[in-house]
Structure 1
């Protein structure tokens, strides 16, 4: 049986979600063990697949670079204020395993979460809920801590992620797709 591009693309959103979850676990488990490379390797593979399947690689790459910069600034602010402390990282610069998660998460806006940029208020709410849940999971795995305490740290993460998700929406809406509802095809 020959696997066609249309078959691959029909299943890609679910595969993409699986790749993201695998990257998240590789990054956080690696970070908890003081290893930066598992998250970087998983993220690089995920993003390489995503870019290979994109019909608008230049636009996709531009958005992912912007998402990475946004992520660095967001996590830098969280670490600099003391709301979050990353395992094995004495400075405020986010570790590589954390940085790689931002473009991986943002890549989901191209297919699985393609409806999010059309609903910015909902995006802010989802970011304000999903961000803290992800960081709480990271804390449970030992990849980060909340020096202010869990409640205050999670509120700071919620505020940061609400703003960051709104900015991601602005990034995705700043350049419309050339054609069709799905950029990755």
Structure 2
């Protein structure tokens, strides 16, 4: 049963990423994200712990992307973040205690996935969502590699922090 949950969560992360990124140009797709998050929360065994983890990770992620936007790494059409990107952080947060939990336990694997997966998701998402990369595509990707090598394991650990 647990493996089915992890697979379903991983599929949700993929579907949610596409809904958010394509929702930048087709806003009606963004309506799918709160629905998906509601289903996710309904299926979680510990609603309170999951809700707190979602808030912690989503806020940390929004802060990270806002800082990167202010530093000129990204050119957003909204300040501090476009809605689709803020929702994307909620989607990512919903996997941190589940299909991505291993990233906080095996730091080197989490860092490796973050170093390559994070920049690829950003560069691909920027192209689809019409986000400017003022530094250039390659430069942005290279800059994001160490950021995400640190961020993914730390976000996973943040999600796993005990609820107060």
TM bucket (normalised to shorter chain) is 0.7 to 0.9
Q: Distance in 1 between matches of 2:147 and 2:72?
A: 13
Residue matched to 2:162: 175
- 1:65 pairs with one of 55, 59, 63: 55
Gaps of 5+ in 2: none
How many equivalent pairs are there?
Answer: 163
Q: Distance in 2 between matches of 1:115 and 1:90?
A: 33
Which is richer in helix?
Answer: 2
Residue matched to 1:24: 17
Distance 1:160-1:94 versus aligned 2 partners, 3 A rule: farther
Q: Distance in 1 between matches of 2:78 and 2:162?
A: 38
- 1:146 pairs with one of 102, 109, 133: 133
- 1:78 pairs with one of 63, 68, 74: 68
Q: Computing the radius of gyration over CA atoms, which structure comes out larger, 1 or 2?
A: 1
- Cα RMSD after superposing both structures: 2.1
- 1:131 pairs with one of 118, 122, 127: 118
Using the size of structure 1 for normalisation, the TM-score is: 0.77
SS in 2 for 1:164: helix
Segments of 4+ moved more than 4 angstroms: none
Using the size of structure 2 for normalisation, the TM-score is: 0.86
